[in-house]
Structure 1
Amino acid sequence: MVDGGGKWVYRAGQWGSKGGPVEGLVVMFVGTFEHSLDDKGRVVLPSTFRAQLADRGFLAQWDRCLGLWTEEGFSDAAERLTQRIRNGEVPQGALRAFAANAHEVRPDSQGRITIPQRLRDFAGLGRDAVVIGAIDRIEIWQTGRWTDQTELADDSLIQAVTALGL
């Protein structure tokens, strides 16, 4: 297990942690970290997440929070959304809204990203935030919303683990 969060990878049916990106391995973001936003709306990303973003990432509105993807992850999410539109599962405007509300971010030398005011407003972010790994993306939550979410998620996780026989 990666202590305090980290990168998990999957290859040939095996999960494990690795230091840094390795060709053929899928990046996994895991862990929960409490951080503060500064007066300019910047938040420090956990060091375990920074290397995976490389030069840039994409921040977008998500489920009551903000989602932050690697360039490849954002492209994959947009591709999956496009496919669901083609299949008639979601309306055409979904991709437009997803892209229009996205923002490219580049971590500075201290590992901070600037969150635009409109995205902070959407997520209800004030001074405090919770930065979590959500496997294929990073999520940035307002502390109270995260607390509410974890209470709901705990019950769902117990049901899923039981159903899977884990």
Structure 2
Amino acid sequence: MITINLELILKVLLGISLAILLILLFVILIRVISIVSKINSLLEKNKEQLENSISQIPNLVKNSEKILENTNANLEKVNILVEDVTDILKASKRNIVNSSTSVSTTLENIKNLSSNVAESSKYIAHNFIGKTSESTNSGGILSTIDTILDCWDIFKTLFKKKK
């Protein structure tokens, strides 16, 4: 008959259990180390990216300052252009007022000239009628025509000067 040594079996089972437990702890420890290693490498990459981003901040600030300076310069140019346009509009308004005044003065001059022409025509006609009724010979008629032609030359000269 075989005797079973219970104590020995328990020691062997306990030893096997401890060995399995140690193996499981070792596997878990290796996994934890690999996870920590991955986290560490990710942290290192993030640190590098962060340092790279921080190193680019001065360049970004300089670029932003340049953009701001360009924007300010463009705003100054726009303000100058707006002032120029305003000055041009004011000058145009003055020119329009001056032109209107000139047109009004010209129309007044034309009116006066027309009145003068009408009075001169009336005077010439009156003189012509007076001279033709007084003279009965051809010499008187010719002198009247000569007077009319002289008046015509005077009117032509007046009109040329007004243009």
Higher-RCO chain (CA-CA 8 Å, sequence separation at least 6):
1
Tell me, yes or no, whether TM beats 0.5: no
Larger Cα Rg: Structure 1 or Structure 2?
A: 2
TM-score range, shorter chain: under 0.3
The structure whose residues are more often helix, as a share, is 2
The structure whose residues are more often strand, as a share, is 1
